[in-house]
Amino acid sequence: MGTGWLVAWRIVSRSLGFVSMLILAQLLMPADIGIVALASSITATIDSLSQLGVRDALVRLPDEQFELFNTAFTLQVMRGVLTGLVLATGSLFIGGWLHDQRLNGVLLVLAVTAVLAGFENIGTVKLNRALDFKKQFVMQAAPRVVGFAVTICLAFVLRNYWALIWGTVFSRLISVIATYVISPHRPAFGLKGWRYLLHFSFWTWIGSIAVAVWSRADPFLLGPVLGMAALGIYMLSAEVALLPITELLEPAVTALFPGFAMAQRGGTAPVSIGISVASTIALGMIPFAIGLSACSGYLETGLLGPHWKGSQPMIAILTWLCIFSPYSYVCAAVLSVQGHVKRVAITNALAAAVKVAVVLYLRQFHNLPLLAFAAVGIVGLETSIFIVQLRAAGSAELRRLAMSGTRALIAAVVTSGALFCLPGTWETVTMNRVSALLLGGLIGVLGFALYGGVQLILWYGSGCPEGPEGRGFTLLREMTQKICRRIEYSM
């Protein structure tokens, strides 16, 4: 049931995101997207410096302790105010440092947004602990809808980056209000038990900094060298390419972390099922990624439009990040639930350091596809490290992972090879937008069908061993039975 609400949330969120992207790509220029991306990266980086991870610490608690909730709320408010002050101070000179004075006003507004975020109701953590995803759906959907409406309206009026900034402010304001409407908990200020929270949160803090460096370093490193227009194209291409992560992986992991925590409270070691879960998620993400990569030219023409020429190679390359990401996300969640946040932080820090070093070297060539290839390789390295850290799952589970991974690799190669023979795949296309979207959609559906067929043949040929295929077919059968029962009941 919880997964259903998560899926519903993602459908609502990404449907709005899809429409928003389609409209904004026509109303705004790449430089506008570049400015917002750079300002958002600065905000996220500063925010990560004070990101304590107290919410994860509360989710892991064996029982609810009111004093710790108050302490977490107090630390959260302090963090928001500190982030706002740093952003407001930085707005006085960051524009000159990055050679774009427009950033000054943008950062000042985002400073107010950071302070607002600090006052979110900490009681919403109880929804995670109870796996109450229905209320979380309502709490997340309302701000998303408001932000979408405000942003689009402002984009038609302003026709510049301020539409995105003010849309973010309104969305954050409604988000804070929603946390108090949905959760009956009323936080108070206090610092009792702060040692426990900070003890767990130290390495979470280090890890959040590493993740922020990984995900937000590109605008800092590329913007001053390549310019805002090229940066905007790169960032929007990445958003399109990573749709499998935002549509499938992130909602799944959102449910998995509290689920792993609940299992651990019940005496079940999450490490024993972590790799199995990651393999099952990858079973759905791999064909999604192959389809997006193959129809990247159709996406550029049909979805983004003429202002975004040059995005096709980045979309085609960056989608391959999605093949490795299930293992990184799930393994990190398992390790964090078990309290091994130091391992997660060190792994994330290593990947971030390698990425910064590689980008600093490669940016001199002004070759965005080369940078995209490097990002895929670094995520592959990070995934390998995470899998090694889950060796406690046992050699039998790792062998099953190797076998299922081999079948998935063969299916991916066969599917990619078949799609490559089709005209228009992995290249820029010239046609009207409706035709491009329709043909791109057909290629995506064909990719799913081919991959599923090859995977099924390989699985049956191997004797139907235990693995993600069996769990996937079981889940599909259960969903089909539920749908049939509902149809019969309605008739």
Q: What local confidence, expressed as pLDDT, does residue 2 receive?
A: 47
In this predicted structure, what is the pLDDT of residue 285?
Answer: 85
| CA-based max dimension of the chain | 67
Residue 82's contacts (CB-CB under 8 Å, 6 or more residues apart) are: 50
* Closest residue by Cα to residue 104 from 83, 126, 117, 89: 89
Nearest to 204 by CA among 7, 340, 403: 340
| Total count of residues recorded for the chain | 491
Amino acid at 338: Q
Is 419:294 a contact under the CB 8 Å cutoff?
A: yes
> Residue 293's pLDDT is what?
93
- How far does CA 113 lie from the centroid of its chain? 21
Handedness of CA 334, 338, 339, 340 (dihedral sign): negative
| Packing angle, helices 30-48 and 228-241, rounded to 10 | 70
**Lookup: tokens for 449:** 């069908």
At 174, list the tokens: 């409604």
Which amino acid, 233? I
Over residues 211-232, the pLDDT tens digits come to 777 877 787 788 778 887 888 8
User: Tokens standing for 62?
Assistant: 């064996």
Q: What are phi and psi of 325, to 5 degrees?
A: -60, -35
Alpha-carbon distances of 212 from 42, 301, 397, 414, rounded to whole Å: 10, 31, 32, 36
Asked if 127 and 136 count as a contact pair (C-beta separation under 8 A), the reply is yes
C-beta contacts of 177-180 below 8 A and 24+ residues apart: 178/138, 178/139, 178/140, 178/142, 178/143, 179/120, 179/121, 179/123, 179/124, 179/139, 180/121
pLDDT score of 288: 87
Burial of 402 (0-12, 13-18, 19+ CB in 10 A): exposed
Q: What is the DSSP string of 108-128?
A: HHHHHHHHHHTTS-GGGHHHH
Q: Who contacts 138 (Cβ-Cβ below 8 Å, separation ≥6)?
A: 178, 182
Residue type for position 259: G
DSSP state of 160: S
Res 374: pLDDT: 92
- Please enumerate in sequence order all residues whose Cβ is within 8 A of that of 318, keeping only pairs 6 or more positions apart, or say none: 237, 238, 241, 242, 372, 375, 376
Distance CA 181, CA 20 (A): 27
**Count H helices, E strands: the chain?**
22, 0
Residue with tokens 């940016």: 363
- Contacts (Cβ under 8 Å, ≥6 apart) of 350: 382, 385
d(CA 172, CA 169): 5
Q: Is 462 exposed, middle or buried (0-12, 13-18, 19+ CB in 10 A)?
A: middle
Q: Is 491 helix (H, G, I), strand (E, B) or coil?
A: coil
Dist. CA 198–CA 51, nearest whole Å = 11
Residues of the chain with pLDDT under 70: 1-25, 27, 47-66, 98, 127-139, 193-202, 247-248, 251, 254-255, 262, 265-272, 390-398, 475-476, 479-480, 482-484, 486-491
pLDDT of residue 1: 46
For residues 51 and 54, what is the distance between their CA atoms, to the nearest angstrom? Answer: 8
Q: Which two tokens stand for residue 438?
A: 């329709």
Q: Are 262 and 407 in contact (CB under 8 A)?
A: no
- Check residue 30 and give its pLDDT: 75
The pLDDT value given to residue 166: 86
Structure confidence at residue 61 (pLDDT) = 63
Chain Cα centroid distance, residue 287: 18
